[in-house]
Amino acid sequence: MPQSAISKCTGGDSHSSLPACLPMTEFSWGYTIAAYPIGGVVGSFVSMYSNVWLGRRHNIMLTCVLFIIGNVISAVSINVPMYSIGRAIVGIAAGMCGSSVSIYVSEISTNKARGALGSLFELFLNAGVLFTQVCGLYMSFDPMWRFLWGISAILAALQMAALFLFTVECPRRLCANKDYDRAAAALQKLRAGADVEEEFAALLAARQREVESAVPTMTIWDILTLKDRHISWRTVIIMVIQAYNQAGGIGPMSVYSVGFFTEIFNGNTKSATSLSLADAAVNTAATFVSVAFVHKLGRKNLMMASLLGCTLGCILMVVGAHDTSKGGVIIAAAIIYIGFYSLGCGVIPWFIAPELVPMHALASASALGSSCNWLFNFLINILWPYISQNLGDNAFCVFVAINFVGFLFVLFFMPETTGKSLDDTDEKSQSDEHIAESGSGSSHDSEDKQDKKEVEYLEN
């Protein structure tokens, strides 16, 4: 909403020491926006190492520092490159944070609550978008547009304080580091006084199996070179699901929504702004539905329903764009798209990785998935102005095809993980490892039998 005030000086000039705006064309604005997802890709890869070196909690706290630095740079920028650098730093922080938070939430949750808590990630993300839209509506003039980034810096500082005062490191991660006393204390705090003896014993047993199996940590290169085909294929599934957090058209529906809807409504900015706010509100409300039903309906079912709904929304968007006299079709299309997006594509990608791959491959698989998310964020935001310019009213046909292909992929290839223990993933991977070893040509039948017994034990 403050795009024109930032790039075209439509918000007046307060004659402050800083420029009233940073003049940009539509295409240079797109490249400035792209600095954010490029940073996200970098941050996703960095998180593969920072999650291991720092742990989940300290890694998220580090991103708060980067959020503050990046937002302050954008707030006081005097030219486009400086503004873009600030957005890129915030993107790096977002890439690191998104990957870390999704793992953190999954690892501190119970099996039953993991889907709901994972959905809360998207719920608060959507609430943040809605808050941003409202602030942008009333702060689209000089110098108030600069304070938008100041608000973000303040929120990052509050988040860092809350993380320091109220959160603990993941017990699963602490057990992996053999810090058992802290792990037990952290689990007890997370479960708020409940009896955690059985759960902690299961955590210790899972970590002991990891030690006995001596499975090395998998790198990105190990996954890409198919060192373990099962994990590599699961990582592909994670990457595709993460990609559909961005690939299906949510960028044009959010980042470019006001400009896009203004064109459809023949220059009526008020209607475009109102529809963008309505979309943000629907996005938040629909995520509440996902929080309530993600455990009952299942991850796969929600993803399929979400992608089909997004396909329908894009079809209606094309129909409405060809007949602007039927404004109701455009409104219905936008609301249907956003509502169904929030049910699955907006929620499931953020907690699916720990449910599909074992802990020794989680950092690398999550980094690849998150980077795929940010890569499509970058591509869609860069390509959308060209798509819109060249295809006009048929622009959303591209997303009709993309969303339907995604539905077919989920239908045939995505496994259901609802209610699954994270340690079940570890045990399955270790079983596959033993099977591979026992089939490598052992010369003693007794050793083969022992391997089979171990496999059966681990599978049970």
Domain ranges in the chain are: 19-168+212-424
Q: Spell out a b/e string for 150-163, using b for 16 or more CB atoms within 10 Å of the CB, else e.
A: eebbebbeebbeeb
Quickly list H helices, 192-268: 197-213, 220-224, 229-243, 250-254, 257-264
User: What pLDDT, on the 0 to 100 scale, is given for residue 407?
Assistant: 96
Rg (CA), the chain: 24
Owner of token pair 């070893």 = 437
For 258-305, write each residue's pLDDT tens digit: 666 666 666 666 666 766 677 777 777 777 777 777 777 888 998 999
- For 19-168+212-424, which CATH superfamily applies? MFS general substrate transporter like domains (1.20.1250.20)
**CA atoms of 162 and 59, how far apart (whole Å):** 14
Strand segments (E) across 289-371: none
Question: How many other C-beta atoms are found inside a 10 Å radius of the C-beta of residue 449?
Answer: 11
How many whole angstroms from its chain centre is CA 266? 34
Contacts of 459 (CB under 8 A, 6+ apart): 427, 428, 431
SS3 label, residue 268: coil
Angle subtended by helix axes 80-108 and 359-391, to nearest 10:
140
Q: Tell me whether residue 270 is exposed, middle or buried, using C-beta atoms within 10 angstroms of its C-beta: 0 to 12, 13 to 18, 19 or more.
A: exposed
Tell me which residues of the chain have a pLDDT lower than 70: 211, 213-214, 254-272, 274-276, 324-327, 421-460
User: What pLDDT, on the 0 to 100 scale, is given for residue 86?
Assistant: 94
**CA atoms of 293 and 242, how far apart (whole Å):** 20
Angle subtended by helix axes 197-213 and 422-438, to nearest 10:
20
User: What pLDDT, on the 0 to 100 scale, is given for residue 304?
Assistant: 94
**CA atoms of 460 and 457, how far apart (whole Å):** 5
Contacts of 75 (CB under 8 A, 6+ apart): 86, 146, 147, 148, 149, 150, 153
Q: Chain-wide mean pLDDT for the chain?
A: 81
The structure tokens listed for 58 are 């300290």
User: What pLDDT, on the 0 to 100 scale, is given for residue 23?
Assistant: 87
